[in-house]
Chains A and B, each alone.
Chain A
Amino acid sequence: MNKTVNQKAWFLVLPVLALVAFNAIIPLMTVVNYSVQETFGDNTFFWAGVLWFEEILRSERFHASLGRQLFFTFSILAIEIPLGVIIALAMPRKGIWVSVCLVLMAMPLLIPWNVVGAMWNIFALPDIGLLGKMLNGMGIDYNFTRQPVAAWATLIAMDVWHWTSLVVLLAYAGLVSIPDAYYQAAKIDGASSWAIFRYIQLPKMKRVLTIAILLRFMDSFNIYTEPFVLTGGGPGNSTTLLSIDLVKLALGQFDLGPAAAMSLIYFLVILLLSWVFYTLMMRNEEQ
């Protein structure tokens, strides 16, 4: 749509600007402020420069959490995106089953995050949980509170359970927007179902999939409550993702300076990676 240039439009944006500025800029300034100062807890602050940033960037602990975070995010993306597309392709297009599928599939999205964590906790507990009991009954030694590998598997299964539906909904929206004429044309040409997928459905889903990948990327990088309730970052530190580590540092140990520096680095990592994703996918689209 061709838009007219109108500087007065700023007045319409003003309320949003005011509220988001109050919510984003003031707290962000607080964080920046803490990140360059040292305090001994009596409300006196000393200039510390980039000390905390250096400390965080060099610390083994930060590297480890960042590594776990990246592993987590890329694992869930690698599972949820293809799985979501497969399910969306197999979903009915007409009739009452569409509503039934949509309502049931959307359910995990609307469960409070701590309930998701608690639900998976009692579902997977080896002594009283359905999943834990089943796996152990099949002869698999499974205890996610003790074994790091089992904890990771449970964590990823939980996220797949929780968020694949979002990908399904988006991919499905992309699929139903394809006009029937495309399919008829493909039928006349005798295209195989793979060809239909590759040359009609996938290109049409590209935009919604971009949104899905970006959303899943951002949200999985910010994930806190579910793993915190499920594993508490354990056993040991094996599932301590970035945000869990950050909250431990900020609210647990009250190390404001390092926590603030870590916050900023964390935020910048998300911004940078999102920007890279976004430009890469947009460039593909233009070609």
Chain B
Amino acid sequence: MKRLGWLIPTLYILFLMLPIYWLVSMSFKTTNEILGSFTLFPQEFTLANYKTIFTDSTWYLGYVNSLIYVSLNTVISVAIALPAAYAFSRYRFLGDKHLFFWLLTNRMAPAAVFALPFFQLYSAVGLFDTHLAVALAHTLFNIPLAVWILEGFMSGVPKQLDETAYVDGYSFPRFFIKIFVPTIGSGVGVAAFFCFMFSWVELLLAKTLTAVAAKPIAATMTKTASSSGYELGLLAAAGALTIIPGAIVIYFVRNYIAKGFALGRV
């Protein structure tokens, strides 16, 4: 039993990799090969699909737009969540528990419910089709998550640290930025990872709030799927490229991913 233990994760990873393999292999095939014959490996190996994406601005700007609003969202979410998480982890104040639960309810809100009102709200304030609009809209579910994760990490830091710093004559902002935030550095990393992840993968709101100038890559893909007669190879190449930023980010936080939620309070 113990000796065969490696089999379960291996089979699972194999199951995870199969669809990804199919996507990547399809991205190197020509449309003719995809539709014409069934092949396990690309027979007429081609880079044409990737070339289209890197030379056509409607394609590569999609990636740029996505990365801009995702980064913007990560910075806003973490920066705003930090002081709030500190308040929740250190102090008791009027309505703190209710506020915490209310924040979490926003994590439960279905994006489908918010799509139309968000469209109207962001159009009304003149932010429609900007990166900022998507970044702000995604804070709806990312701020509660960031507060939740950061609060868990902060509660693990003994209070003596704060007290010593105040005795040493640190003001709150200076203590917070110079000492406290670096202390929970890994927590900030984990929170940023989850904000990045949920903002990167979300499509419905991002698509609803943009038209041309800030259109995310995911929306470009759905447009292609319906308009230009289903160019599967191109679609597969675009999909395969969306995996890369995530894979890079995971590599950097691999040792902390699991910790993030484990420390977070229920």
Contacts and interface: CB of A to CB of B under 8 A. Distances in A.
Greatest chain A CB density within 10 A among B76, B140, B245 is at B140
B200 interface: yes
Interface in B53-93: 76, 80-81, 83-84, 86-93
B192 interface: no
A27 B118 contact: yes
Interface in B239-258: 239, 242-243, 245-247, 249-251, 254-255, 257-258
A246 B115 CA distance: 10
A169 interface: yes
B177 interface: no
Contacts of B103: 16, 20
Contacts of B5: 90
A161 B15 contact: yes
Contacts of A78: none
Contacts, number: 272
Given A87-B12, A90-B9, A119-B239, A128 B93 contact: no
A172 B261 CA distance: 11
Interface string A234-267: 0000000011001100110000100100010011
B115 A122 contact: no
Nearest to B196: A110
A72 interface: no
A92 interface: yes
Contacts of B218: 112-115
B18 A123 contact: yes
B217 to A, nearest CB: 8
Interface residues of A, number: 95
B167 interface: no
A24 B106 contact: yes
B266 A211 contact: yes
B103 to A, nearest CB: 7
Interface in B183-200: 197, 200
Contacts of B34: 128
B113 A246 contact: yes
B214 interface: no
Contacts of B251: 103
A39 interface: no
A142 interface: no
Interface string A9-34: 11011011101101110111011000
Per CB-CB distance, the 9 closest pairs between chain A and chain B, nearest first, are A110-B246, A27-B117, A173-B262, A173-B258, A9-B91, A12-B87, A90-B8, A243-B112, A9-B87
Given A173-B262, A222-B111, A229-B222, 14 more contacts: A13-B84, A19-B136, A20-B103, A105-B13, A110-B197, A111-B246, A129-B22, A130-B19, A208-B262, A214-B266, A218-B108, A221-B110, A225-B203, A242-B112
